[in-house]
């Protein structure tokens, strides 16, 4: 239950200075071993990428981290060339502009469908497809991240947590792309399937179409770091809240970069909190993609 709003004329009394909000009691345990996630076999083809409609979007009226988004079409066209300056273009497009320091902007959501078109075209090699899937996962996770970031403040102010600007529409935009991406499961190598499983966990209404495949992959990587996140994705896809919370708590017990407070956000569902653990931690398990 949220606390009542304080009377504006009531005195402010500091009854417990320096107190921290409660966090789940999680004992630190040894991390499971990493496991390689393959980027082969690869099936890239020499086919065109459809960017039709790109110039129909009023980019000049939209914005990103550095102002007008008028430069986004040029960057997306450059990204569609698998032999161009891929890393530099991708870093500028998302790291500098559309998802700078984890923030979303009015131009972020309109750009995401073009990433999906690049993926489903089959023109990009597996490593580059993986890069695009990763940015989609990062984009999808900003909504829950911002809600958790506002949770303590919301409790103190007697309101529900609020998402940061543009994060909800970005989250919805990723969800709209997911059915077409999930249909590629059988043609993708295990590193890409891993990210697809994580995306499925964040959108269970779509993710159930690959629930059996996620279960099999979790069994394949049982006892490893990728396997732990696959178990979490499986629990979220099946909306098993108790299991998702338990698996997320197990991950936080060995993943030192995770904050146990993520599982203690008042006013938020278990799916949001456990999904944040999934989105934030899964990328670390990809460090062994090869």
- Tens digit of pLDDT for each residue in 215-232? 999 999 999 999 999 999
Q: Residue 221: name the closest of 138, 131, 136, 282 by CA.
A: 282
Low-confidence spans in the chain with pLDDT less than 50: 1-21, 24
Burial of 88 (0-12, 13-18, 19+ CB in 10 A): exposed
Q: Where are the domains of the chain?
A: 57-288
The answer to whether the pTM exceeds 0.85 is yes
Confidence at residue 3, expressed as pLDDT on a 0 to 100 scale: 40
User: pLDDT digit string (tens) for 137-158?
Assistant: 999 999 999 999 999 999 999 9
How many Cα atoms are found within 13 Å in the side-chain-facing hemisphere of 121? 22
Work out the mean pLDDT of the chain and round it to a whole number. Answer: 90
Beta bridge partners of 78: none
Confidence at residue 26, expressed as pLDDT on a 0 to 100 scale: 53
**Gap between the Cα atoms of 283 and 199, Å rounded:** 12
**Gap between the Cα atoms of 264 and 280, Å rounded:** 16
List Cβ neighbours of 122 (8 Å cut-off, separation of 6 or more): 43, 44, 45, 47
**Gap between the Cα atoms of 22 and 24, Å rounded:** 7
Confidence at residue 87, expressed as pLDDT on a 0 to 100 scale: 94
**Gap between the Cα atoms of 287 and 34, Å rounded:** 9
Dihedral pair phi/psi, residue 267, rounded to 5°:
80, 5
Do residues 123 and 82 lie in contact, with contact meaning Cβ atoms separated by under 8 Å? Answer: yes
Report helix, strand or coil for 171. Answer: helix
Confidence at residue 20, expressed as pLDDT on a 0 to 100 scale: 45
Confidence at residue 27, expressed as pLDDT on a 0 to 100 scale: 62
């Amino acid at each position: 239950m949220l606390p009542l709003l304080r009377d504006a004329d009531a005195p402010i009394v500091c009854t417990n200075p320096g107190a921290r909000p409660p966090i789940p009691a999680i004992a630190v345990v040894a991390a499971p071993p990493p496991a390689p996630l393959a980027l082969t076999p690869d099936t890239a083809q020499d086919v065109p990428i459809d960017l039709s409609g790109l110039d129909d979007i009023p980019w000049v009226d939209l914005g990103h981290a550095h102002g007008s988004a008028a430069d986004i079409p040029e960057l997306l066209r450059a990204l569609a060339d698998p032999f161009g300056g891929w890393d530099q273009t991708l870093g500028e497009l998302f790291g500098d502009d559309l998802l700078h320091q984890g923030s979303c902007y009015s131009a972020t959501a309109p750009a995401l469908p073009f990433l999906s078109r690049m993926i489903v075209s089959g023109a990009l090699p597996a490593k580059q497809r993986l890069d695009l899937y990763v940015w989609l996962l990062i984009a999808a996770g900003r909504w829950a991240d911002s809600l958790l970031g506002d949770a303590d403040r919301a409790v103190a102010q007697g309101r529900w947590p609020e998402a940061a600007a543009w994060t909800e529409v970005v989250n919805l935009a990723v969800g709209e792309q997911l059915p077409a991406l999930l249909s590629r499961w059988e043609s993708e190598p295990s590193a890409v399937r891993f990210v697809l499983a994580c995306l499925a966990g964040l959108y269970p209404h779509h993710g159930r179409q690959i629930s059996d495949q996620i279960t099999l992959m979790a069994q394949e990587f049982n006892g490893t770091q990728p396997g732990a996140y696959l178990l979490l994705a499986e629990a979220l896809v099946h909306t098993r809240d108790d299991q998702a919370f338990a698996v997320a708590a197990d991950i936080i017990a060995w993943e030192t970069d995770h904050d146990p407070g993520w599982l203690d956000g008042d006013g938020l569902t278990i799916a949001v909190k456990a999904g944040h653990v999934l989105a934030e931690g899964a990328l670390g398990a990809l460090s062994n993609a090869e």
